[in-house]
Amino acid sequence: MFSLTNKTAIITGGGSGIGKAVTTVFAKQGAQVYILDMDEAGGNSTAEEITKAGNKAIFNRCDVSNQADVKKIIASIAEKNGAIDILVNNAGIAHIGNAETTGEEDFDRLMKVNVKGVYNCLHCTLPYMKQKGGSIVNMASVVASVGIPDRFAYSTTKGAIAAMTMSVAKDYLSYQIRCNSISPGRVHTPFVDGFISKNYPGKEKEMFEKLSKTQPIGRMGRPEEIAHLALYLCSDEASFITGCDYPIDGGFIKLNN
């Protein structure tokens, strides 16, 4: 079950955190994976780990906010493989601040990466995916559904991702292209560790425990847990699912009251 053998998969932000987990799981299940990431060290390292394990991964340095860059790389991938079967739009950046404290530069930066970046990848991939159908997974967030303090710009971008997901799912039904989104709660990644170290020096353990307990289940998610949900949604076993969002949040949305 959940085989991706002979499928070509593109994962943006696939060099670290959730993206690395998705890339690794997809490659293990037989896909030829292409990592699109700005982080050359992380992207190359992930690709090397996967190939050493006997699976297939190629790293491409890519700025998803630059459409010309995205178009060139995706065209090259399609030329080598004939079509593109899977796209996981995972690349994104975060920001702390409310509507007053968020500056114009930061707001524009998040929109450029988190929203335009997804649009660019959809815009450039869909013409190739239309050849035989496929599956798209967009990484949204629980902040698209509930209010979280000081996440104004980030929440704005993830709300856009939820709407984009439904629009693409509707527009491409006749091409057998499915489009769904995943909304993680807090997931333990290197980004979280870096955020805590930067903002709460000397209180890392205390803050980690506090953030972990905001999930009713009592802990943060693991990147592999998000990757396994993405695997299901991109597999043939999920062929009847499109236009849906899947919270994977330890009960955060429904039980945090």
Task: Report the side by side order of strands in the sheet with 134-139.
Answer: 56-61, 32-37, 8-12, 86-89, 134-139, 177-184, 245-248
Contacts of 193 (CB under 8 A, 6+ apart): 204
Tokens for 158, please give them. Answer: 């993830």
Taking Cα atoms as reference points, which of 187, 171, 173 lies closest to residue 225?
A: 187
The amino acid at residue 11 is: I
Q: Which residues of 129-165 are buried (b: 16+ CB within 10 A; e: fewer)?
A: bbeeebbbbbbbbbbbbbeeeebbbbbbbbbbbbebb
Tokens for 17, please give them. Answer: 């955190």
* DSSP H/E element including 136: strand 134-139
Concatenated DSSP letters of 82-114: SS--EEEE-------B-TTT--HHHHHHHIIII
Of 34, 128, 154, 172, which residue is the catalytic one? 154
Is 172 known to be catalytic?
no
Report, as residue numbers or ranges, the catalytic residues. Answer: 154
